[in-house]
């Protein structure tokens, strides 16, 4: 029986991707790397240093900077990003997600956050939904990013449940792969997750409900 949920943040609970994209775009431009929508979409769900390395590689500049310089670039992007997310309010919760969080709380299910973002606690606070979660995985304690299962394994441990009792919710293909590798049931949101074959799939966050899950899992 399902007793808990592990949630990705960006793309599942709120759309911070637009802020990440703007901050990376501006840094890339400053470094002389030409921006493209393809590059922007490749960065979704990818951790901070890995994202920077992808941008530098796209511009053929991966060997031009020291590790200290790279850390400084990533810090600059994050300072800009943190300034942008100050405008987040509870109105920025994606469609249906407040209702779903209420539904699982009322049903006695547990929830935790498996986000690659070091800014996740701040974002949940801005959205006013911190209290729905028993815990947030600190991504700096996870050495390998999604599709490695580690972050979802840790999010499951925060729930104190067995993988089989947990549904993980993700909007990225790498995230769905991570959930499945952690032994949890994957609920994919949106077209990008279809290639990873999640056990449950919805077009949009508005389609997520306990009823839809029970109907699809046949329980």
The residue ranges that bind ligand B16 (CB under 6 A) are 8-11, 20, 43-48, 51, 78, 115-119
CA distance 97 to 193: 18
207 counts as catalytic: no
The whole-angstrom distance between residue 131's C-alpha and the CA centroid of its chain comes to: 18
Q: Tell me if the bond preceding 147 is cis, omega within 30° of 0.
A: yes
Nearer to Mg ion, 104 or 172 (CB): 172
- Kindly state the smallest distance separating residue 91's Cβ from ligand B16, in Å: 19
- Kindly state the smallest distance separating residue 90's Cβ from ligand B16, in Å: 18
- Kindly state the smallest distance separating residue 164's Cβ from ligand B16, in Å: 23
- Kindly state the smallest distance separating residue 96's Cβ from Mg ion, in Å: 16
Nearer to ligand B16, 98 or 216 (CB): 98
Could you say which of 1, 10, 91, 92 is catalytic?
10
10 counts as catalytic: yes
Q: Which of 4, 45, 145, 163 binds Mg ion (CB under 5 A)?
A: 45
Instruction: Return the residues of window 149-208 that contact Mg ion according to CB under 5 A.
Output: 171-172
Using the contact rule CB under 5 A, the part of the chain among 7-15, 75-83, 129-137, 148-156 near Mg ion is: 7-15
Binding site for Mg ion (CB under 5 A): 8, 10-11, 45, 171-172
As annotated, the active-site residues are 8, 10
């Amino acid at each position: 029986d399902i007793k808990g949920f592990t949630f990705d943040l960006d793309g599942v609970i709120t759309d911070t991707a637009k802020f990440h994209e703007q901050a990376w775009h501006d840094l890339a431009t400053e470094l002389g790397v030409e921006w493209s929508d393809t590059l922007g979409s490749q960065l979704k769900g990818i951790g901070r240093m890995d994202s920077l390395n992808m941008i530098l590689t796209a511009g053929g500049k991966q060997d031009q900077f020291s590790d200290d310089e790279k850390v400084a670039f990533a810090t600059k992007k994050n300072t800009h990003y943190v300034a942008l997310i100050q405008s987040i309010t509870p109105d920025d919760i994606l469609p249906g997600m407040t209702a779903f969080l209420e539904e699982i709380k009322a049903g006695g299910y547990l929830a935790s956050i498996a986000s690659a973002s070091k800014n996740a606690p701040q974002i949940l606070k801005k959205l006013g939904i911190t209290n729905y979660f028993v815990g947030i995985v600190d991504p700096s304690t996870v050495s390998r990013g999604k599709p490695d299962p580690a972050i979802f394994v840790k999010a499951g441990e925060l729930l104190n449940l067995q993988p089989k009792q947990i549904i993980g919710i993700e909007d990225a293909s790498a995230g769905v792969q991570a959930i499945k590798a952690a032994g949890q049931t994957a609920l994919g949101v949106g077209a990008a997750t279809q290639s990873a074959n999640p056990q449950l799939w919805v077009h949009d966050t508005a389609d997520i409900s306990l009823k839809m899950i029970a109907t699809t899992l046949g329980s």
